[in-house]
Amino acid sequence: MILYLDTSALVKRYFKEPYSEDIILRWKNASEIFTSSVTYAESLAAFYRKKREEVLGYKVIKEVTNAFRTDWQSFIRVEVTDDLNEYIDKAIESHPLRGFDAIHLASCLLVNESLSENLLFACFDRRLAHAAQVEGLETFPLNTQ
């Protein structure tokens, strides 16, 4: 299985949240992991937001960001290019998505077109997951209602 992680799914790898164990299991079983290049900035922003809101110590946030930066090297990253913009146009025209969500959906659709293996789109934003399902992608978790 090939795994595409949007930021909402990726963050669960580093912080214990509902579905964290499921994401880690899928991560371990994936032959490849894809994400968008925008996930780097989104993830760091989420980590530091958690630091502010949950009063995480310097040591904890340093460990989390170091682990993320190490993992980042193993991801296959979809860059935002003019080719991807065609997919972004279609995603935004078809679905009520925010900008980065449209980038994630477009990135996953682009990857999915070039694969012969099953792709799983892990996402915990209901609107984005629903749009992915409408586009024919297999999502985790399954329920977007």
**What pLDDT, in 10s, does the model give residues 9-58?**
999 999 999 999 999 999 999 999 999 999 999 999 999 999 999 888 89
| CATH code that applies to domain 2-140 | 3.40.50.1010
Q: Which pTM was predicted? A: 0.94
Q: What is the band of 142 on the pLDDT scale with cuts at 50, 70, 90?
A: confident
SS3 state at 144: coil
Per domain, the residue ranges of the chain are 2-140
Looking at residue 36, its pLDDT comes to: 98
Residue 144 confidence (pLDDT): 52
Q: Please, where are the H alpha helices in 30-142? A: 39-54, 58-72, 82-94, 99-113, 126-134
* pLDDT exceeds cutoff 90 at 145: no
Closest CA to 127 of 115, 135, 119, 118: 135
Q: Residue 78: is its pLDDT beyond 80?
A: yes
